[in-house]
Structure 1
Amino acid sequence: MFIIKLCIQILNMEGAILLEISKRIKQYRIEKSYTVQELADLSDVSKGMISQIENGRSIPSLSVLLGIVSALQVNLSDFFKDISPEEEMILIKRKGDYEHFQKEGSNGFSYERFLTRSIKNSTVDIVFLTLEPGSFREQVSTDAFEYKYILSGEVDYTIGSENYNLKEGDSLFFDGRIMHVPINKGKKPARMLIIYFFDN
């Protein structure tokens, strides 16, 4: 019954649950010593799809999710164990409590997640990004609108074919479906607040 309820919430794109599912897919893939490509082949989806799901950039359909879990050879009950559909109404995150993570294919990008929640018909994902000097990543797209606020340092943002220079206190809002990448050409780390708005 719990898994049925959870699946209904997945269909409704409950943000916190989807984030936990993304983390578990990556965790089980690493435990099985599968590469992203190997899991993609076993799940009959693209490598890019697996990478985007693991990094929280794409929300899988229920059929895709179940196919991935099957490819990982994990029992459904075990996979969904301790994933609670309950969410706190008030959430405080202390400085040392943020979830640190990195996204595949990037070097020098250090993320800290503050919050992922479903709010009415949208899922909001709030993270901090520290961009090291000389950091590198290919341009990517996200199934979300994105808001960036520069907390410190300086960032050159490439969106499509356009380039924008952002300094401390500057902010940016754009359609993440356009290919984009931030670049730190300076000598000091740059830090920004990022808010993703996913349409459900």
Structure 2
Amino acid sequence: MAHGPAKSEVFAQLGEELRCVRIGQGLSAGELARRCGLSRSMLSRIENGQTSPSVDTLQSLAEALEVSVARFFCRRNGRPDLSFVPAGAGIRVDRMGEVAGFRYELLGHLLSGNLCVEPYLVRLQAGAPPFADFQQPGLQFVYLLSGRLRYRHGARVLEMGPGDALLFEGRAPHGVEAVLAEPVSYLAVTLAARQ
């Protein structure tokens, strides 16, 4: 007797398609959640395949994205992911727990495979307070584009200038401990296994 895909696989595929449509339209998760009357955490659980949305929720999402509900059930087998973001066209992201003065711009997103890769352009506004207590699973890559700063990772503090790079485990407390010269901007890439 042939069996169809497991429920968890269906939820994961639905979530991937939803995220693909949202990102393709240049919408942040927060904006789509607001349009649909959902919490950001609920939208995140749907996009990550952790929960099954109701039919009403699917309809609300489809209407907000101006697509049919059937679009979320399209299979993209054999189609490799590609993310191209023209200069200046990254998606402004309001990250949960975002520190005042730190501005995040998502520069790409791939939906296939078991690895989640999120590249951000981070800009510190003038006078932004330092913050060195970020913690998240996975690996972090930081490449300083402009300015000078002291960056903390655990007990270690490094002085960084343009062109300097860091690669480290993100579970240790880390972040900008002090701004030495403005304006500060850096590329931050998070690499983690999908949950």
TM > 0.5 = yes
The unaligned stretches of length 5 or more in structure 2 are 1-6
Tell me whether 1:62 sits opposite 2:55 in the alignment.
no
1:112-155 per-position Cα deviation (integer Å, ceiling 9, x unaligned):
11111146431211111112343234612112211011111112
Give the superposition deviation at 1:173.
0.5
The match for 2:125 is: 132
Aligned residue in 2 for 1:164: 158
Deviates more, 1:21-30 or 1:152-161: 21-30
User: Cα RMSD between the aligned structures?
Assistant: 4.0
Change (3 A) 1:190 1:120: same
Higher alpha-carbon Rg: 2
Instruction: Say whether residues 1:107 and 2:109 are aligned partners.
Output: no
Aligned residues: 170
Structure 1: state its 5+ residue gaps: 41-49
CA distance in 2, matches of 1:16, 1:29: 15
The 3 A distance-change label for structure 1 pair 149 and 119 is farther
Question: Secondary structure at 1:97's aligned position in 2?
Answer: coil
More helix by share: 1
For residue 137 of structure 2, what is the aligned residue in structure 1? 143
2:147, 2:181 within 8 Å by CA — same for their partners in 1?
Answer: no
Kindly state the Cα deviation for residue 109 of structure 1 after the two structures are TM-superposed: 0.6
TM superposition score normalised by structure 2: 0.65
Aligned 8 A contact 1:6 1:85 in 2: no
Q: Is residue 199 from structure 1 mapped to residue 187 from structure 2 by the alignment?
A: no
Matching residue's letter, 1:172: L
Distance change (3 Å), C-alpha of 1:98 and 1:184: farther
Using structure 1 for the length normalisation, give the TM-score: 0.64
Identity of aligned residues (%): 18
Contact 1:156–1:182 (Cα < 8 Å) also in 2: yes
Does the residue aligned with 1:116 lie in a helix, a strand or coil? coil
**Correspondence for 1:28:** 33
Q: Report the Cα offset of residue 16 of structure 1.
A: 8.5
Residue 30 of structure 1 deviates from its aligned partner by: 8.4
- Spell out, residue by residue over 1:35-80, the C-alpha distance to the aligned partner (whole angstroms, 9 max, x if none): xxxx69xxxxxxxxx5xx69xxxx96614xx5xx68xxx6233236
SS in 1 for 2:109: strand
